[in-house]
A and B are shown apart, each in its own frame.
Chain A
Amino acid sequence: MDRFVWTSGLLEINETLVIQQRGVRIYDGEEKIKFDAGTLLLSTHRLIWRDQKNHECCMAIPLSQIVFIEEQAAGIGKSAKIVVHLHPAPASKEPGPFQSSKNSYIKLSFKEHGQIEFYRRLSEEMTQRRWENMPVSQSLQTNRGPQPGRIRAVGIVGIERKLEEKRKETDKNISEAFEDLSKLMVKAKEMVELSKSIANKIKEKQGDITEDETIRFKSYLLSMGIANPVTRETYGSGTQYHMQLAKQLVGILQAPLELLSPEDLVNACKMLEALKLPLRLRVFDSGVMVIELQSHKEEEMVASALETVSEKGSLTSEEFAKLVGMSVLLAKERLLLAEKMGHLCRDDSVEGLRFYPNLFMTQS
C-alpha cells in the first residue's frame, strides 16, 4: 500500500480514461484497510481510486509500477478480486496514504461486480503500455491529500532510511529482472484467453473468428516453433533454416547443442542426402528413423548379425544389443532387416521374441 500517491484524480493531457467501476475495496496484501468503498478508475497511465464518501480522498498507482495481475474468483460471501503485484516504490515517490508496507501486493475487491471487464481492460493496458508512448508531466502529480509530506531525518534514523532505500533498490533490481517474466505471463494469459475465445466461437458458432484473431493466434504458434499450422511443408521444399541446420549437424553431432526441437532436427536430417552430406536419414519399415554415415551399409551389417545369431543358436533383441554394443532399438531394427532379407526367422512365444538362422531356407 505504500506505492499509492495522493492525486487530484484529474486526468493529465495524453492520459485517457479506459474504464471505471464503483464499489471497489482495497486490501493491503490480505489486510482490510479503511479504503472500503471507492470508485476504481483505469486510465492509460494509472490506476486511480477515489473514496465514494469523501471525494477528496483520491490516490493512484502508475501502471508502470505493476509487475503482474491475477484474478481471484468470487466465492460464497466473497466478491471477485484482482490481485495486483507491485514493484517497490521508487525513492522519489510522492506522498501517499502509507509510508511503508510489508506487502508487495494489493487486492481490489469488486463488491458491485465488474471485475471481469476491469481485469480485461487492465490486462490490455498492461500489454499495450500506452503510458510509455504518451508521457505525462510529472509536475501535475499533486500533493493534495490529508497527509503531510515525507519527513527528512538525520542521525540514526537517517542511516536506517539509507539502508531501507538500499534494500528497496535491490528489490527493484530483482523486480526488473522479473519484468520480462511478467510480460510473458501477461502474454500467456492473453493467449489463453484468445484460445478460449476462438474455441467458444467455434463451439457456439458465435460469429466469425476475426482476421485479427487469426493473425494473433498464428503469431503465437510461430513463436512456439509451429511454422505453419494449416499445411505441413514437405521436406522437399524445406526452409533455408533447415538447410543450414543440416550442414551444421554434420559438424556438431558430438558437441552439446542448444535447445533444438525434434521436428527441426528431423526436417534438417531429411535434407542430408539431397545436400550430398556424409550423413543420411534412414527410415525403417517400422517408422524408426536413424542417422547413419553415408558409407555405412546396413545390409552388410546384416551378414555379420547372422553370424552372431548362428554362433549363439538364437538371440533376442536385448541379447544381441548387449553382445554387439548397440541400443536395443537399433539392434531390433537390424534383426528385423535380417529377417526381411530372409537370413533370420522368428520364434514368438510367451518367452519373448527370438531370432534364429533361417533354416527353412537353408535346410532341405
Chain B
Amino acid sequence: MAMSFEWPWQYRFPPFFTLQPNVDTRQKQLAAWCSLVLSFCRLHKQSSMTVMEAQESPLFNNVKLQRKLPVESIQVVLEELRKKGNLEWLDKNKSSFLIMWRRPEEWGKLIYQWVSRSGQNNSVFTLYELTNGDDTENEEFHGLDEATLLRALQALQQEHKAEIITVSDGRGVKFF
C-alpha cells in the first residue's frame, strides 16, 4: 500500500505541485517528478495507467497537503518520461500509457546477460518461462509484465540478439 512507500521531501513541498516558470528550477522539479513516478510505479507493480487514474492517484494528488498537480502539468511530466524512454502511449488519444521504471533496452540487456551466463544461447523460451519460470526466480526481470518484456525483446531483436517467434500457445523468443 501507499503507506509503506517512502515519499521524497518534494512531495511535502507545495511548490512541487506548481509547474515552475524558472527554467532551471523546472528542470530540477521535473527530474524529481520523473524519479517519483518511476519508483511509485515500481513499488506498486504498476506497469500501465490511464491519465484519469493518474490525476486521482496519491502520486499526483497529495490529499494531506491539499495540493494536486494540474492535468496539464501531469502531461508535461509524462512527456518528459516518454522522452527518456520510460513511457509509451498505448493509444492515439494519449489517454493511457505504459510506464517502465527500467527502459526496454536496459531490460533487454539484463535478460541477455542471464541467457549468456547460463549458457542458453540458441535456446527458445516462451515469454511466460522467462518471467515466471523457476530458473529466473532470482532475476530482476522475474515477474516483469508482458508488455514491457515484449519491448525488451524487441530491443534485443533490433540488435540481432534475439528473435520473437510464435510458439504453440502464444509467443516465444529465440536467443542467439
Residues of B within 8 A of A347 (CB): 14-15, 17-18, 67
Q: Which of A342, A348, A354, A360: most chain B Cβ within 10 A?
A: A360
Q: Which of B20, B29, B32: most chain A Cβ within 10 A?
A: B20
Q: How far in angstroms is the closest Cβ of chain A from B43?
A: 22
Q: Does A363 contact B (CB under 8 A)?
A: yes
| Chain B 17-33 near chain A by CB (<8 Å), digits 1 or 0 | 11011101100110010
A342, B15: Cβ atoms closer than 8 Å: no
Q: Does B13 contact A (CB under 8 A)?
A: yes
CA distance A314 to B25 in the complex (A): 17
A342, B18: Cβ atoms closer than 8 Å: no
Residues of B within 8 A of A346 (CB): 15, 18, 20-21
A window 331-356: CB within 8 A of B: 339-340, 342, 345-349, 354, 356
Q: Does B5 contact A (CB under 8 A)?
A: no
A residues contacting the other copy or chain, number (CB 8 A): 16
- Residue of A342, A349, A358 touching B14 (CB-CB under 8 A): A349
Q: Does A255 contact B (CB under 8 A)?
A: no
A356, B15: Cβ atoms closer than 8 Å: yes
Knowing A342-B25, A345-B25, A349-B67, say if A360 contacts B20 (CB, 8 Å): yes
B25, A361: Cβ atoms closer than 8 Å: yes
A339, B22: Cβ atoms closer than 8 Å: yes
Q: Does A359 contact B (CB under 8 A)?
A: yes
A356, B13: Cβ atoms closer than 8 Å: yes
CA distance A340 to B23 in the complex (A): 9
CA distance A185 to B34 in the complex (A): 71
CA distance A155 to B9 in the complex (A): 106
CA distance A349 to B67 in the complex (A): 8
Residues of B within 8 A of A340 (CB): 22
With A339-B21, A356-B13 known, 15 other A-B pairs at CB within 8 A are A342-B25, A345-B22, A346-B21, A347-B14, A347-B18, A347-B67, A356-B14, A358-B22, A359-B9, A359-B15, A360-B15, A360-B20, A360-B25, A360-B28, A360-B32
Interface residues of A (CB under 8 A from B): 314, 339-340, 342, 345-349, 354, 356, 358-361, 363
User: Could you list 25 examples of A-B contacts with CB < 8 Å?
Assistant: A314-B14, A339-B21, A339-B22, A342-B22, A342-B24, A345-B25, A346-B15, A346-B21, A347-B14, A347-B18, A347-B67, A349-B14, A349-B17, A354-B14, A356-B14, A358-B22, A358-B25, A359-B9, A359-B15, A360-B28, A360-B29, A360-B32, A361-B24, A361-B25, A361-B28
